[in-house]
Amino acid sequence: MTAERPAVIVIEDEPRLRRVLRTTLETNGFRCMESESARRGLLDARTLRPDLILVDLGLPDCDGLQVIRAVRQWSTVPMIVLTARSEEPTKIAALDAGADDYVTKPFTVGELLARLRVALRRGGDYNPSGVFEIDTLRVDLANRQVFIGGQEVHLTPIEYRLLTVLVKNAGRVVTYNHLLRHVWGPGKVEQHDFVRTYIADLRRKLEADPARPVYLLTEVGIGYRLLAPAMKGVTN
Amino acid sequence: MLLIVGLVISSLASGLRLQAHTATLRERRTAALYAMARELATASSLDDIAKSSLSHLAKVFDASGMILLKRTDGTMRSLGAAGTAALLECADSGIADWVFTQQTIAGVGTDTLPAANAIYLPLNGTLGKVGVLVVHRNNRRPPLVSEQQRLLEAFANQIAVAVERDELRRAAHISAYAAHEERLRSSLLSSISHDLRTPLAVIGGSASSLLQGNSQLSEGAPRQVVQTIHDETQRMTRMVNNILDMTRLEAGPVQLDRQSYHLEEIVGAVLERLKDQFGQRAVRIAIPRDLPMLHVDGVLFEKVLINLLENAAKYTPPHTHIEVVASLQDRRIEIQVMDDGPGIPKGSEQQVFAKFYRGHAEESVTGTGLGLAICSAIIEAHRGRIWVENRPEGGAIFSLVLPLEAACKEHTKRVAP
């Protein structure tokens, strides 16, 4: 990452949207580079070595999904997808192809910046001693302990593993399939209700009101997102 | 003398017998014609018409028949299945065409083309020519006598009228459907133009006041103007999304991606999404811990709850209490969204689910009148039921039930257009 101003490539064919994104990014401490097509974007991604790529899924020359797959062949650069609403399968496909997160159009600046911050801090929001902390929730990865308001909460091994996968991706949406793979192993893929049941249990232990979760947020049809410090200050 | 009298009497008697016989025959044929006419009157499709007329033809004339209808492109198409293949071979399309244009009977036993192996009768309705009836008599029976031929012509007339009636009925149906579509379209257009132009006007006006420079704007006003632009944009986005949802739901069979969800989780996601809209309204949730998981399309079901709760927030004054209550009843899950606001206008309990329905009292509230229609389409796709009633103590209750077993077995279901 460049010292102060992270460089973002915006791969988007709609010039007006590019203009808005450029203004937003530049007034919020990013450098912005524009690519108006998938081909151009792939080229720029190689030559300009950005810190983050913002890619529209509906590009005229080729599917945004292909851009994600192509970039992932040689780079781990964070990628955020711009999508239209009601396209859950596409969102999931993009995330499975290697995108870090998505922003649904039309999005608010707060939302976009939160996603960018989270994606740029990839690798965990926990401090060097392995402690993740947000509001009253404290997860001590080194000692395998979880606290709510200073009170230790006892989790089953699966609940704990589920929580650690979310902690390691704090602030990012984590798909059902990702959780299944990393908690249960490759055999359980597609059994999404498995995840939902364990998340419900986890919420009963961590959330003051499980019906109004504060930490374990739901993205219906896609997966879960653990509240992260970088998400604070987002207005919907 | 006696002989003469005897001869006269016997000849008179035989004349009478003949007359009596003819009368019986005529009566029988009239009865046959009447029977067919009666059946044709109740025929509801061209296939029905073909089936009943050809079976009567077979009974009365011991003949197999084929109805040829003129297509709009000028070619003939055959109607009627029984023995058609065999008949098609002997029916001459050249003769049929000639009979159709000349409107003259032809074929066996007639003056025109008597060598042909079938009889060709023009089918002539009250409004014009519709086709040709081809009659092929079985077992090389003697040609029809003129009386029989007249009866056959009467049959042909009946068939022609029935075919014509069917065509008229279909045309009427199509035009009624078109009129209905047209009403929907114009209703959509007026709804869109009104509901989208208002926020557009606000956004445009606000933006231009910012562009003109802030000489006339007081301290803090620009921020308010920008807030207005933002709010109106969100409102417009919701409307466009609703229109898109409705279009998608109506475009064809809805593919449900059914999975098991905890109701609590979906409600939680919806409340998080709508928290800005609730303002000071208190939302109470009562979902039993042991409620079975819902087997639904999560994304679509979330839309239902979003629309119901958004409505509860939109159409009630601040400080209203909103409740989401769920229960398991007789292998069905019942979910209720209730408020203690003004309730819905009496008598409009059904209408509120119709597309573009907007109550008079709601004119101050922006919307497309699609939210509840979307809910209803989604719940129907899940084989459930949704309805609304007013609470005796004031306020509205939107209830929906989802069957448990059906929910687990059925994976996709069509939504009625």
- Check whether residue A155 and residue A60 sit in a common domain: no
Whether residue A104 has pLDDT greater than 90: no
A15 touches chain B (CB under 8 A): no
The set of long-range contacts for B140-144, using a CB threshold of 8 Å and a minimum separation of 24, is B141/B62, B143/B108, B143/B109, B144/B61, B144/B109, B144/B119
CATH code, domain with A71: 3.40.50.2300
Instruction: Give A-chain residues touching B285 at CB under 8 angstroms.
Output: 211-212
One-letter-per-residue 3-state SS of B124-180: ECCCCEEEEEEEEEHHHCCCCCHHHHHHHHHHHHHHHHHHHHHHHHHHHHHHHHHHH
The answer to the question of residue A236 being in a domain is no
DSSP letter assigned to residue A30: -
Chain A / chain B CB contacts < 8 angstroms: 64
CA distance A85 to A88: 8
Kindly report the number of other CB atoms within 10 A of residue A100's CB atom: 25
A212 touches chain B (CB under 8 A): yes
Range with the lowest mean pLDDT among A58-67, A216-225, B21-30, B48-57? B21-30
CA-wise closest residue to B119 among B101, B99, B139, B102: B99
A221 touches chain B (CB under 8 A): yes
Check the CA dihedral B258-B263-B268-B271 and report its sign.
positive
Instruction: Give A-chain residues touching B235 at CB under 8 angstroms.
Output: none
Question: If pLDDT is split at 50, 70 and 90, which confidence band does A3 have?
Answer: low
- Selection from A107-121, A198-212, B9-23 with the highest mean pLDDT: A198-212
Range with the lowest mean pLDDT among A35-39, A227-231, B16-20, B94-98? B16-20
Range B244-409: architecture per CATH: 2-Layer Sandwich (3.30)
Cβ–Cβ under 8 Å, residues B339 and B321: yes
The residue type at B147: E
Cβ–Cβ under 8 Å, residues B164 and B124: no
Q: Within 13 Å and on the Cβ side, how many CA atoms surround A101?
A: 26
Instruction: Give B-chain residues touching A212 at CB under 8 angstroms.
Output: 268, 271-272, 285
Instruction: Give B-chain residues touching A218 at CB under 8 angstroms.
Output: 265-266, 268-269, 272
Cβ–Cβ under 8 Å, residues B160 and B132: no
The residue type at B13: A
- Check whether residue A160 and residue A64 sit in a common domain: no
- Check whether residue A172 and residue A200 sit in a common domain: yes
User: From the candidates B203, B242, B261, which should be mutated to test the interface with A, based on the most A CB atoms within 10 A?
Assistant: B261
- Check whether residue A68 and residue A111 sit in a common domain: yes
CB distance A193–B287 less than 8 Å? no
- Check whether residue A109 and residue A138 sit in a common domain: no
Selecting from B259, B268, B275 the residue whose C-beta is nearest the C-beta of A211 gives B268
CA-wise closest residue to B375 among B399, B396, B342: B399
Kindly report the number of other CB atoms within 10 A of residue A50's CB atom: 25
Cβ–Cβ under 8 Å, residues B105 and B144: no
Kindly report the number of other CB atoms within 10 A of residue B138's CB atom: 11
CA distance B322 to B285: 9
Q: What is the dihedral of CA A111, A103, A25, A67, to 10 degrees?
A: 160
Predicted pLDDT of residue A156: 95
Predicted pLDDT of residue A189: 66
CA-wise closest residue to B279 among B317, B234, B244: B317
Q: Residue-wise over B335-372: b if at least 16 C-beta within 10 A, else e?
A: bbbbbbbebbeeeeeeebbebbbbeeebeeebbbbbbb
- Check whether residue A59 and residue A31 sit in a common domain: yes
A 59-88 residues with CB < 8 A to B? 85-86, 88
* Partners of B69 in beta bridges: B77, B131
To which H or E segment does residue B195 belong? helix B146-211
A192 touches chain B (CB under 8 A): yes
The residue type at B374: I
Domain boundary among the residues A81, A100, A120 is at A120
- Check whether residue A14 and residue A114 sit in a common domain: yes
CA distance B84 to B107: 18
The answer to the question of residue A144 being in a domain is yes
* Helix, strand, coil percentages, rounded to 5, for chain A: 40, 20, 40
Instruction: Give A-chain residues touching B287 at CB under 8 angstroms.
Output: 211
Q: What class does CATH assign to B22-172?
A: alpha beta
Instruction: Give A-chain residues touching B276 at CB under 8 angstroms.
Output: 235-236
CA distances (Å), origin A196, targets A5, A88, B150: 39, 17, 79
CA-wise closest residue to A193 among B385, B67, B257, B225: B257
ipTM of this predicted complex?
Answer: 0.83
The CA distance from A212 to the nearest CA of chain B, in Å, is 5
Number of domains in chain A: 2
Selecting from B259, B265, B285 the residue whose C-beta is nearest the C-beta of A200 gives B265
CA-wise closest residue to B268 among A195, A86, A220, A196: A220
CB distance B299–A200 less than 8 Å? no
Instruction: Give B-chain residues touching A106 at CB under 8 angstroms.
Output: 233, 237
CA-wise closest residue to A71 among A111, A41, A93: A41
Predicted pLDDT of residue B364: 57
Predicted pLDDT of residue B223: 83
Instruction: Give A-chain residues touching B265 at CB under 8 angstroms.
Output: 196, 199-200, 218, 220
CA-wise closest residue to B415 among B302, B242, B255, B298: B255
CA distance B101 to A203: 81
The CA distance from B318 to the nearest CA of chain A, in Å, is 20
Domain boundary among the residues A74, A90, A120 is at A120
Sorted by sequence, the CB contacts under 8 Å of residue B286 that are 6+ apart come out as B323, B324, B325, B326
Q: The domain containing residue A34 runs over which residues?
A: 7-120
CA-wise closest residue to B277 among B245, B236, B242, B309: B309
Domain boundary among the residues A89, A120, A151 is at A120
Predicted pLDDT of residue B336: 95
The CA distance from A231 to the nearest CA of chain B, in Å, is 14
Strand ranges (E), B51-102? 63-70, 76-79
CA distance B21 to B150: 17
- Tokens representing B236 are 């417009």
For the residues of A171-211, what is the DSSP string, one character each?
TSEEEHHHHIIIII-GGGTT-HHHHHHHHHHHHHHH-SSTT
* Predicted TM-score of the model (pTM): 0.67
Sketch the domain layout of chain B as residue ranges: 22-172, 244-409
CA distance A162 to A202: 9
Pairing of strands B119-124, B106-107: antiparallel
- Check whether residue A210 and residue A137 sit in a common domain: yes
Predicted pLDDT of residue B367: 64
Pick the residue with more confidence: B279 or A160? Answer: A160
A219 touches chain B (CB under 8 A): yes
CATH code, domain with A219: 1.10.10.10
CA distances (Å), origin A5, targets A25, A46, A52, A162: 10, 19, 11, 34
Predicted pLDDT of residue A105: 83
- Our measurement of the distance from residue B156's CA atom to the centroid of its chain's CA atoms, rounded to an integer in Å, reads 33
- Tokens representing A227 are 């509240």
Predicted pLDDT of residue B217: 59
CA distances (Å), origin A189, targets A177, B172, B299: 6, 54, 20
For each of chain B's 417 residues, which pLDDT tens digit applies?
777 777 777 777 777 777 777 777 778 778 888 888 888 888 888 888 888 888 888 888 888 888 888 877 777 777 765 455 555 566 777 888 888 888 888 888 788 888 777 888 898 888 888 888 888 876 566 777 777 888 888 888 888 888 888 888 888 888 887 777 777 677 667 767 777 788 888 888 888 888 877 555 566 778 888 888 988 888 888 888 888 888 888 877 788 888 899 999 999 999 988 888 888 888 999 999 889 999 999 999 999 999 999 888 888 888 889 999 999 988 899 999 999 888 888 888 888 888 777 665 555 566 667 889 899 999 999 999 999 999 988 889 999 999 985 444 433 333 333
- Check whether residue A106 and residue A23 sit in a common domain: yes
Instruction: Give A-chain residues touching B244 at CB under 8 angstroms.
Output: 85-86
A189 touches chain B (CB under 8 A): no
